[in-house]
Amino acid sequence: MIKVVADIDIPYLKGVLEPYAQVEYMKGKDIGPSSVRGADALFVRTRTKCDRTLLEGSSVKFITSATIGTDHIDLDYLASRNTAFANAPGCNAGGVMQYVHTALFAVAAAKGIELQGKTLGVIGVGNTGSRVAALGEHLGFKVLRNDPPKEAYAEDKSIYCPLEYLLDNSDIITMHVPLDQTTKGMADSSFFSRVKPGTIFINASRGEVLCDDALLAKRGELAALILDVWNGEPGAISQELIDAADIATPHIAGYSYEGKINGTAMAVQAFARHFGIEGLYDFVPGHTPVPRLELRDADGGFLPTPEVASRLLSAFPIYELDNALRGNPSSFEKIRGEYQYRREFVWR
């Protein structure tokens, strides 16, 4: 029988694999070389680093991560040992879209900033950034998109702009890039030197794309700062940045009910296809329809910022998480682990 080691915090997974595999569940941080030595497959999240240290001498043939990111996976090492890998790209795109716009409108309403008609700059326009951009246009923003890898292969390159142009011309900047060698530390002093005074800055991608000192040096010129991800998380995150942020949350932008269903479904389906388990090819956890949220008026017109904020906050009371993190930053991982997944919404 196939032997599987799985992160116990992957939701809706227990009982799914058991008819086909012997499954051991563990906390992601506790998955180590001794526990994977006899395993054929791993189900992980971002807290498990899959590299030579973990896998050398093991019989692991397949790894799936129920997350969008791959920075916890040594893909070159996996290729060298012919270990197959699958992740869940786009699984939490709707949740991050919801987070960005809820936080943005909440802060703007609190500070008396009218957003309709402002320019929203989206850096990284993959599954998540494209959805942030689309909802932004629906809410009345002019949207600038920057994504050199996507632009290189796009038939219509006119929808993209250079990073410098975006930084010079955006009233709101939101980061949605993957973490790799081209993006690590990209938001540095040179980056922030081009950001206009009065800009709202949001990072819900990875903490490591930011240089903390550069952001702190710019903070006094920003209209608002929203951070969900942090250098050093979950442990040594910057108290100074928490204090500087208008909204500070513990890496839960993508923690929605739908996002977790999508991530688990994609992980199980990839596992099933790798091992030829036809009974799981189309597996999806049972769920109810995604609720609809109206964000324009009855005639299709734009609503005032406070009204949009009220509607978004009714679906996602984001300040509860902000208060929890501020109250006890050392509980970052506990707050994240105990978070009750919110529902996403559809708007079109």
Please check whether residue 346 is in contact with residue 131, taking contact to mean a CB–CB distance below 8 angstroms: no
- Contacts of residue 276, defined as CB under 8 A and 6 or more positions apart, other chains included, come to none
Q: Strand 84-86: give its sheet, edge to edge.
A: 21-26, 2-7, 41-44, 62-65, 84-86
Mean pLDDT of 198-207: 97
Work out whether the CA dihedral 195, 200, 206, 211 comes out positive or negative: positive
| pLDDT averaged over every residue in the chain | 96
* Residue boundaries of the structural domains of the chain: 2-87, 93-253+301-337
What is d(CA 107, CA 249) in angstroms, rounded to the nearest whole number?
14
- The CATH number for 93-253+301-337, chosen from 2.40.50.100, 1.25.10.10, 2.40.420.20, 3.40.50.720, is 3.40.50.720
- Residue written as token pair 């904020």: 309
Domains 2-87 and 93-253+301-337 fall in the same CATH topology: yes
pLDDT at 267: 98
List active site positions.
206, 233, 251
Radius of gyration of the chain (CA): 21
pLDDT tens profile 206-221: 999 999 999 999 999 9
pLDDT tens profile 46-105: 889 999 999 999 999 999 999 988 889 999 999 999 999 999 999 999 999 999 999 999
pLDDT at 69: 80
CATH superfamily of 2-87: NAD(P)-binding Rossmann-like Domain (3.40.50.720)
Mean pLDDT of 4-14: 95
What is d(CA 121, CA 200) in angstroms, rounded to the nearest whole number?
10
Long-range contact list for 58-67, CB < 8 A, 24+ apart? Answer: 58/33, 60/36, 61/274, 62/86, 62/271, 62/274, 62/275, 64/267, 64/270, 64/271, 65/267, 66/7, 66/10, 66/13, 66/91, 66/260, 66/263, 66/264, 66/266, 66/267, 67/91, 67/92, 67/263
Mean pLDDT of 13-33: 96
What is d(CA 201, CA 267) in angstroms, rounded to the nearest whole number?
33
pLDDT at 68: 86
pLDDT tens profile 133-185: 999 999 999 999 999 999 999 989 999 999 999 999 999 999 999 999 999 99
